[in-house]
């Protein structure tokens, strides 16, 4: 797929979930430099205000910080509502939120932390902002991911590691595969809408989260020797600035950080359908209705 990067961003609105640091902020800065309106979502007001100042200095038409906790279903829902209040029409959203942890952590929702933050929250936000993205007639969603093998797929009957021993790697890497499977089913359910969802795979990157002492030692080493956020953000920028995304490529995975080729996910159909229903049920059990599901 050729991404020519000629789309005019003047007057367009982009929200970055996890945009106050790392890859999200790096991509936001590039779009700001092209005159876009930017909202960055994060937990720290201090980091958010600093990012807004940076985006303004880069040339953003406007920039705001939206404070939100994405670790719970209600937090994700409330944050999506704040984004809707900022702009009823969205041209793109980027998910790059990541936090440091090593052992098994359970959120106040009763969900395993990586699953809650890096999968369930993303899907909730995508579903709740779907109409706002469609209103732009070309709404684009990017999930930052890693090129993990299908063997790292979690057990769909034990997503919270209640029956099996917790594995940090299976949990953190498994969220990427869950995201890929979600995109596959979204192609079936949302393919008639004027949106796209792309999982942009990146390699190890020097980010604040990767360097956090709470991260396992190997993760910190990978981050130390990783590439810079601006390099990892290149394909995010390519997606958001491309003139068009071909119909066949609107729901897929960009596996290679050095290429812009998009591949359609090919997981077993029954498992993708099961995950879709499970995702909806988990949200609804916590008071969040996903009508788009």
Q: What residues contact residue 117 under an 8 Å CB cut-off, 6+ apart?
A: 70, 71, 97, 98, 99
Give 280-293 pLDDT, tens digit per residue: 999 999 999 999 99
6, 237 contact by CB (below 8 A): no
Give 119-131 pLDDT, tens digit per residue: 999 999 999 999 9
pLDDT at 203: 85
How confident is the model over 258-265, as a mean pLDDT? 95
200 pairs with which residues across the strands? 144, 254
How confident is the model over 274-279, as a mean pLDDT? 97
Write the DSSP assignment of 155-172 as a string of letters.
PTT-TT-SSS---HHHHH
The candidate with the shortest Cα–Cα distance to 16, out of 54, 58, 63, 56, is 63
Give 197-209 pLDDT, tens digit per residue: 999 999 887 677 7
Question: Which structure tokens are listed for 126?
Answer: 């995508």
Give 134-150 pLDDT, tens digit per residue: 999 999 999 999 999 88
Confidence check: pLDDT of 235 > 60: yes
Q: What is the CATH number of domain 13-285?
A: 3.40.50.720
pLDDT at 182: 98
110 pairs with which residues across the strands? none
Give 63-74 pLDDT, tens digit per residue: 999 999 999 999
Show me where the domains of the chain are located.
13-285
How confident is the model over 161-189, as a mean pLDDT? 93
55, 63 contact by CB (below 8 A): yes
How confident is the model over 36-44, as a mean pLDDT? 96
Confidence check: pLDDT of 87 > 80: yes
The candidate with the shortest Cα–Cα distance to 7, out of 265, 239, 266, 252, is 239
Give 49-59 pLDDT, tens digit per residue: 999 999 999 99
Percentage above 70 pLDDT, the chain: 92
- Model-wide pTM > 0.85: yes
156, 274 contact by CB (below 8 A): yes
Confidence check: pLDDT of 277 > 90: yes
């Amino acid at each position: 797929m050729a991404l020519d990067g000629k789309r005019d961003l003047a007057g367009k609105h982009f929200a970055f979930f996890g945009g106050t640091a790392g890859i999200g902020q790096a991509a936001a800065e590039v779009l700001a430099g092209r005159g876009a309106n930017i909202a960055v979502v994060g937990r720290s007001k201090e980091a958010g205000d600093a990012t807004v100042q940076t985006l303004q200095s880069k040339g953003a038409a406007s920039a705001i910080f939206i404070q939100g906790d994405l670790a719970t279903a209600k937090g994700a829902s409330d944050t999506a509502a704040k984004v809707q209040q900022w702009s009823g029409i969205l041209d793109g959203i980027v998910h790059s939120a990541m936090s440091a942890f090593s052992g098994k952590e359970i959120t106040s929702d009763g969900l395993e932390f990586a699953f809650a933050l890096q999968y369930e929250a993303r899907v909730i936000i995508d579903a709740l902002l779907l109409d706002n993205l469609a209103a732009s007639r070309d709404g684009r969603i990017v999930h930052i991911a890693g090129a993990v093998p299908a063997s790292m797929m979690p057990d769909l009957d034990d997503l919270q590691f209640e029956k099996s021993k917790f594995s940090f790697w299976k949990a953190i890497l498994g969220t990427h595969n869950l995201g890929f499977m979600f995109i596959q089913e979204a192609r079936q359910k949302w393919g008639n809408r004027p949106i796209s969802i792309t999982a942009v795979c990146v390699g190890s990157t020097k980010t604040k989260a990767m360097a956090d002492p709470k991260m396992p030692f190997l993760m910190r080493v990978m981050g130390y020797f990783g590439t810079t956020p601006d390099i990892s953000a290149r394909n995010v920028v390519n997606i958001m600035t491309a003139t068009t995304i071909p119909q066949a490529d609107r729901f897929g995975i960009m596996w290679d950080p050095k290429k812009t080729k998009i591949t359609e996910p090919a997981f077993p159909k029954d498992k993708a359908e099961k995950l879709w229903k499970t995702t909806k049920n988990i949200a609804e059990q916590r008071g969040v209705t996903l009508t788009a599901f």
